[in-house]
Chains A and B, each alone.
Chain A
């Protein structure tokens, strides 16, 4: 492949061109013989902290240019850069300049599209390219200059305002920095007025409440939702405390606990409780412990034997404490046998193999599977079914629920599992809390229904763009503002 060499004259020309680009400002004047007539600048620029925000917004207002609207096509809004930002900008500009010079030098050597031909170059040619680029970089380094106090470096362009508009909200500011602002008017011929600058710096202030209700990210709607949720919980707790009965739907799985323990008692066989295969940091294991407490208390009252094999040592310790407390509550502390609550192995299928063998040998009359389960769920439930046990399962693992439902007598599904504590204790506080959460869920379902309806209507009325956009905007408001 033939490569052309760059002459020194051509290189000089390129360097001059890049240099002029580097020093150019966005406010370049019109040339090509067009006479510029910049509009008069806006005046009286004021910056105030944005009310009720999270400390990253400032409100800008100004008096319109006297040429507005005849000779104003837009307003340009800027904010001051912090020292670090200026340093960064200059560094970026320098890098861009050097890259441009290196590219120009290489193109001078190999022409456009040189990158595609790199693979075909010989080692000698590659060395030459590196030398040329290195020399170009050195030259650009010495040539580059940028004034940190120049307007271009000090001010950062933020956005535009239309003629007749005299306000602008600046966001994403750092609440620890002070900022000044500048606004320029742009004429119809794109000439720019001089900038009007705020006299003193302003720091956005973090407010106690971010109460924006009509923009995304505000906390107004969140606060309303929290108030309704918490209000419902508090209301139902107070109602429950006042003695008014709270009706909670019967959960067959929990109602059947006494039945299962009774069966074990009558048949003189043990009760098996498996608290899942996860550790104590799993919420399902914690919920399982709550249920274990109730079951072991019932077992203590009935004088039945309860066995709790675990796959985690911490779960074993917690289960021991739980069962011991239950036996104490039932008034039978002497009947508690800690050896029946033991650790087997962390290995998932080692644990399952042990349990299956144990179930076949001892034939428990009642099996409880409460907690987080994975592939072992069906193995356990089928083995339990085979030995003729009443089985009650509870898990929040959606993938395992069908197996438990099919193979067990009763299954606590997701929420029911977590509601078990309130259900079993019957305490007004817990029941009230449960009821309050239900109110929250009803609200969520209601909002989902509204959202689906709005977007469906928007789609159905697409023939009428005006109406459709109303529904779409309402839906967007619900989705992006209220629920975000």
Chain B
């Protein structure tokens, strides 16, 4: 890979090879600022008959080339580097989730401890975790061996025991994997990569257990002490293995790896990377969500701790039936403000599952799809909260004052009150007909508390920027701020519950374009116009039972940012509780839909 001087970089080309499409973006330095200028898209060509991922890359880059008028591919079909005049680019980078991305199996001694740490390492590295094997997973050894045989992961991560701790059960886990002889997904002739990140004392014993059919790599323990998690070395090794084994064996990737200026990253790892970078630079807490057809990824950075979860069965097309089954049709329908025939809805769900690329053709279909999305996002976020926890098995420090308030370890670190930025991506969110719909989808599903900025990834650019951040942080951050995120606005929501129509909070807004004050009663939601790039100072005084971030009943004063939607004042309470009675629920939803202007009637055509 070429040595890059960040100050000399003028043109950056980035691609993301997805399962179905390969997306290319062009970033150029304009008037001293990096901006995303053009975008191209082409079908991914990793499968037969092409079986060469670079073909899709070249096609998408060619589209960018045509749109920008800049020559990026030479006659031999290679990306031109470095840039000179109207030709080529200084940096070329790529991510990949083709062929289902990186699929891993992880193992540890105790499911909630070393196995959970191993899972966090794998998910953080952008993998999909197919299964977690542990000593206490209630399965008999033969069942575990069977399961390992059934799975065809790209690689395996084994952990277990603190340094100087348990060796017996760590070796026992290895002894389950060795005879199972797991086969890699790609390239049967290649050996299965296995990363050992457990008790260092057990490493020599682990080496003895595996023969040459396993490519064993030993990295420092990801849980050297119970009080400490060290995921970095394991994650780095996963990336290396991803390139060496998975990518190298996928069609065309060996060629693509030769073109890029930074290692190809799994797409989710790149998304996580840019979110972490932004959270660190701006000192904020961020939650990002990417809702796809089969899975929903949730990323969070709270107090510098990054977590990612993949809800494998929550999606808007292939997994839509599962969303309905898991949530229940009545829970989905509570978001719909008119009567719908449940039978017809079920047919609609199945149709979406077998024809995943269809999009809603009527307002009713759109409203229903967005109702399903709310539930999918809500469930995915619940799973994320359960996973993103403090470490378990850690000694607690108490005082006598804790007599009646002893909290168990392993509490979630996700705190909506601390959340500063909520970023949406994925078809149903990014391509909603109105941004208002995206904003309220996020508010309903994630229930942000206090003051939270809402944004969406305009063209799912985060993966590109995640890799770019590795080689040119400044460019990545600038593009993220200016072109990647479309700010929808800010949500100001009170935590707590009260009686309907009783005062929730009062507000006063002072800004260049918006000066307003008023009262919000419990159950109300209101949208105030505050355009992109506009800011205002809001002063809110909640009533006794409500909290806006400073504590129950305490006043807050904060700057809010406008967006394409505006400023949402949410006095519906947290946790958000919809009326159980169906007509009352419909009435409440209808009121909220009207208040935000989600589904306005189309204006009559002028004749």
* B-binding residues in A (CB < 8 A): 250, 252-253, 255-256, 258-260, 262-263, 265-269, 301-303, 388-390, 401-402, 405-411, 413
> Known pairs A265-B110, A266-B162. 14 more at Cβ < 8 A?
A259-B112, A259-B409, A259-B410, A268-B162, A268-B166, A268-B168, A269-B165, A389-B395, A390-B394, A401-B403, A406-B400, A410-B408, A411-B406, A413-B403
Q: Let me know if A256 and B409 touch, CB within 8 A.
A: yes
Interface of B is mostly: loop
Q: Let me know if B162 and A409 touch, CB within 8 A.
A: no
Q: Let me know if B393 and A266 touch, CB within 8 A.
A: yes
Say which residue of B161, B226, B400, B410 sits within 8 Å of A405 (CB atoms). Answer: B400
Q: Report the bound CA distance from A59 to B532 in whole Å.
A: 93
Assess whether B281 is interfacial by the CB under 8 Å rule: no
Contacts A252-B407, A406-B400 given; indicate if A267 touches B395 (C-beta within 8 A): no
Contacts A258-B112, A266-B161, A401-B403 given; indicate if A388 touches B392 (C-beta within 8 A): no
Shortest beta-carbon distance from B109 to chain A in Å: 6
Contacts A266-B160, A268-B168 given; indicate if A253 touches B113 (C-beta within 8 A): no
Contacts A268-B166, A406-B399 given; indicate if A262 touches B406 (C-beta within 8 A): no
Shortest beta-carbon distance from A391 to chain B in Å: 8
Determine the chain A residues whose CB is within 8 A of the CB of B166 once the complex forms. Answer: 265-268
Shortest beta-carbon distance from B114 to chain A in Å: 6
- Indicate the member of A388, A407, A409 with the most B CB atoms within 10 Å: A409
Q: Let me know if A267 and B410 touch, CB within 8 A.
A: no
Say which residue of B110, B406, B407 sits within 8 Å of A266 (CB atoms). Answer: B110
Contacts A302-B110, A409-B398 given; indicate if A259 touches B392 (C-beta within 8 A): yes
Determine the chain A residues whose CB is within 8 A of the CB of B407 once the complex forms. Answer: 252
Q: Report the bound CA distance from A45 to B393 in whole Å.
A: 82
Q: Report the bound CA distance from A255 to B395 in whole Å.
A: 14
Q: Report the bound CA distance from A303 to B134 in whole Å.
A: 12
Q: Which residue of B lies closest to A408 (CB)?
A: B398
Q: Let me know if B395 and A390 touch, CB within 8 A.
A: yes
Q: Let me know if A390 and B398 touch, CB within 8 A.
A: no
Say which residue of B167, B393, B398 sits within 8 Å of A268 (CB atoms). Answer: B167
Determine the chain B residues whose CB is within 8 A of the CB of A302 once the complex forms. Answer: 110, 135-136
Within 8 A of A (CB), among B175-205: none
Determine the chain A residues whose CB is within 8 A of the CB of B409 once the complex forms. Answer: 256, 259
Q: Let me know if B395 and A388 touch, CB within 8 A.
A: yes
Determine the chain A residues whose CB is within 8 A of the CB of B143 once the complex forms. Answer: none
Within 8 A of A (CB), among B369-423: 392-396, 398-400, 402-404, 406-410
- Indicate the member of A263, A302, A401 with the most B CB atoms within 10 Å: A263
Q: Let me know if B395 and A409 touch, CB within 8 A.
A: yes
Q: Report the bound CA distance from A265 to B160 in whole Å.
A: 10
Determine the chain A residues whose CB is within 8 A of the CB of B167 once the complex forms. Answer: 268
Q: Report the bound CA distance from A405 to B169 in whole Å.
A: 33
Determine the chain B residues whose CB is within 8 A of the CB of A256 once the complex forms. Answer: 408-409
Contacts A266-B166, A267-B165 given; indicate if A301 touches B400 (C-beta within 8 A): no
CB<8 Å pairs between A and B, sample of 11: A259-B392, A262-B112, A266-B109, A266-B161, A266-B166, A268-B161, A303-B168, A401-B403, A402-B403, A405-B399, A405-B403
Determine the chain A residues whose CB is within 8 A of the CB of B162 once the complex forms. Answer: 266-268
Q: Report the bound CA distance from A260 to B406 in whole Å.
A: 15
Shortest beta-carbon distance from B402 to chain A in Å: 6
Determine the chain A residues whose CB is within 8 A of the CB of B406 once the complex forms. Answer: 252-253, 410-411
Task: Pick the 4 closest A-B CB pairs, nearest first.
Answer: A263-B393, A268-B166, A262-B110, A409-B396
Determine the chain A residues whose CB is within 8 A of the CB of B113 once the complex forms. Answer: 262-263, 266
Q: Let me know if B110 and A405 touch, CB within 8 A.
A: no
Determine the chain A residues whose CB is within 8 A of the CB of B160 once the complex forms. Answer: 266
Contacts A256-B409, A259-B408, A266-B109 given; indicate if A303 touches B396 (C-beta within 8 A): no
Determine the chain A residues whose CB is within 8 A of the CB of B396 once the complex forms. Answer: 390, 409-410
Q: Which residue of B lies closest to A407 (CB)?
A: B398
Q: Let me know if A405 and B393 touch, CB within 8 A.
A: no
Contacts A262-B112, A263-B113, A302-B135 given; indicate if A406 touches B398 (C-beta within 8 A): yes
Q: Report the bound CA distance from A151 to B403 in whole Å.
A: 70
Shortest beta-carbon distance from A39 to chain B in Å: 71
Shortest beta-carbon distance from B133 to chain A in Å: 15
Shortest beta-carbon distance from B169 to chain A in Å: 6
Q: Report the bound CA distance from A413 to B404 in whole Å.
A: 9
Assess whether B223 is interfacial by the CB under 8 Å rule: yes
Q: Report the bound CA distance from A267 to B393 in whole Å.
A: 10
Q: Let me know if B398 and A262 touch, CB within 8 A.
A: no
Shortest beta-carbon distance from A261 to chain B in Å: 9
Shortest beta-carbon distance from A86 to chain B in Å: 64
Determine the chain B residues whose CB is within 8 A of the CB of A405 once the complex forms. Answer: 398-400, 402-403
Q: Report the bound CA distance from A302 to B114 in whole Å.
A: 13
Q: Report the bound CA distance from A265 to B136 in whole Å.
A: 10
Shortest beta-carbon distance from B79 to chain A in Å: 48
Determine the chain B residues whose CB is within 8 A of the CB of A402 once the complex forms. Answer: 400, 403
Determine the chain B residues whose CB is within 8 A of the CB of A269 once the complex forms. Answer: 165
Q: Report the bound CA distance from A45 to B543 in whole Å.
A: 74
Q: Report the bound CA distance from A388 to B397 in whole Å.
A: 11
Q: Let me know if B169 and A265 touch, CB within 8 A.
A: yes
Shortest beta-carbon distance from B106 to chain A in Å: 15
Q: Which residue of B lies closest to A256 (CB)?
A: B408
Q: Which residue of B lies closest to A402 (CB)?
A: B400
Shortest beta-carbon distance from A409 to chain B in Å: 4
Q: Let me know if A303 and B169 touch, CB within 8 A.
A: yes
Q: Which residue of B lies closest to A255 (CB)?
A: B408
Q: Report the bound CA distance from A263 to B394 in whole Å.
A: 8
Say which residue of A267, A401, A407 sits within 8 Å of B226 (CB atoms). Answer: A267
Shortest beta-carbon distance from B547 to chain A in Å: 22
What per-residue 1/0 map shows which CB atoms of B134-172 lie under 8 Å from chain A? 011010000000000000000000001110111111000
Q: Report the bound CA distance from A252 to B411 in whole Å.
A: 11
Q: Report the bound CA distance from A406 to B167 in whole Å.
A: 33
Determine the chain A residues whose CB is within 8 A of the CB of B109 once the complex forms. Answer: 265-266
Q: Report the bound CA distance from A413 to B405 in whole Å.
A: 12
Q: Report the bound CA distance from A411 to B393 in whole Å.
A: 16
Q: Report the bound CA distance from A268 to B226 in whole Å.
A: 12
Q: Report the bound CA distance from A252 to B404 in whole Å.
A: 10
Say which residue of B135, B402, B403 sits within 8 Å of A303 (CB atoms). Answer: B135
Say which residue of B135, B226, B403 sits within 8 Å of A263 (CB atoms). Answer: B226
Contacts A263-B226, A266-B113 given; indicate if A250 touches B408 (C-beta within 8 A): yes
Q: Report the bound CA distance from A253 to B403 in whole Å.
A: 11
Q: Let me know if A262 and B393 touch, CB within 8 A.
A: yes
Determine the chain A residues whose CB is within 8 A of the CB of B135 once the complex forms. Answer: 265, 302-303
What per-residue 1/0 map shows which CB atoms of B222-233 lie under 8 Å from chain A? 010010000000
Q: Let me know if B395 and A268 touch, CB within 8 A.
A: no
Shortest beta-carbon distance from B199 to chain A in Å: 8
Q: Let me know if B399 and A262 touch, CB within 8 A.
A: no
Shortest beta-carbon distance from A259 to chain B in Å: 5
Q: Which residue of A lies closest to B163 (CB)?
A: A267
Q: Report the bound CA distance from A404 to B509 in whole Å.
A: 51
Q: Report the bound CA distance from A390 to B138 in whole Å.
A: 24
Q: Which residue of B lies closest to A253 (CB)?
A: B406
Q: Report the bound CA distance from A408 to B398 in whole Å.
A: 7
Q: Which residue of B lies closest to A409 (CB)?
A: B396
